[in-house]
Structure 1
Amino acid sequence: MASNRGKGKGTKGSKGVLEEEESVLKRVNAWTNWTLKKAKGIAHYGFIPLVIIIGMNSEPKPHLYQLLTPV
């Protein structure tokens, strides 16, 4: 069975680097999750208003009720 003990020199310095890398990965993962949650909310609640705004700026200019009613 393999031993989990370090082999001589260099084990103390590498442990700090691993902890620092794990910390950076955790921060990046948390930031990514936060960003994706915000993007999901923006996309979810902003899609229909975006379609209405684009529709109202097109030619010919329809009224709001023409955009919202199926014809």
Structure 2
Amino acid sequence: MADESKSSTPWLAFLVGGLVVAVAVIAFVVYSGGGLSKPQIPSSVEVDVNLPKAPPIPDAPKLPDAPMPTPK
């Protein structure tokens, strides 16, 4: 009688091999300078902001005169 025990070792080896290949491809792209390129940053930025003029502030009300002290 033949031994018919099933093992998951081939699938595990295939999965680990795929992960190793994926990591190798990512490492090659990163270290070779490929992939995402750095955006060019402008050396100077000119900003022109035109704000509306603020309305004038109204005059504050006058304070009443101080009361006269009462004689003692």
TM-score, scaled to structure 1: 0.46
Pair member with larger Rg: 2
Higher share in helix: 1
Q: Using CA pairs below 8 Å that are at least 6 residues apart, which structure has the higher relative contact order?
A: 1
| TM-score normalized with structure 2 length | 0.45
